[in-house]
Structure 1
């Protein structure tokens, strides 16, 4: 399968999964979730869905459990919205890149503040 088609499918899946999580899921455990990326295997059998979850540790854990319990529903909805022969098996992966960039930003501000004082 061409790389361009896979990239289009990945972007379409990212948009659709974001919409499903935002509008369709009624699970009260699910808090603020952002789908940052989707990676699909070349044979379209597995899709890794990278999600960033905001909140404290308890909220993150609750949201993570809520998302994983909704995998079947999300996969079925993706199958209805995107016409593929086989809907990929979804696997959520926690994306820590936003937390990491926030941490780096705080460190840079702290260094800047120390340089101004010293």
Structure 2
């Protein structure tokens, strides 16, 4: 399969998954405003998709949201197949992505350093 087609399919899966999670999943443990799909890694044969998800909140909220996604995985996969109009949707593997959390932490540390530098210059 071509790399370009694989990338387009990944983008489309990301769009549809976001829509499904936002509009169709009613589990209170999943708050879409705190959840972001950061990346989809799709296998060459489209049979597996690794879905990287960033969840803002404390560790308990992250664990609960991941459990809810795991529980709804079958429904999400069938809804994905239906909306993509494909016979076989990829097997979904949800993974917690902490890159946004690390970015926020680095930004706050840089801001602290900036404030300290201003304080020492005065």
Q: Is 1:12 matched with 2:9?
A: no
Q: How many residues align?
A: 118
Per-residue Cα deviation, 1:34-65 (whole angstroms, up to 9, x for no partner): 11111101111100111111112221111111
Which consecutive unaligned segments of at least 5 residues does structure 1 have?
none
Indicate which of 70, 89, 92 corresponds to 2:91: 89
Alignment of 1:1-118 (within 5 A): 1-31=1-31, 32-118=34-120
Provide the alpha-carbon RMSD of the alignment.
1.0
TM-score in terms of structure 2 length:
0.92
TM-score in terms of structure 1 length:
0.95
Three-state SS of the structure 1 residue aligned to 2:86 is coil
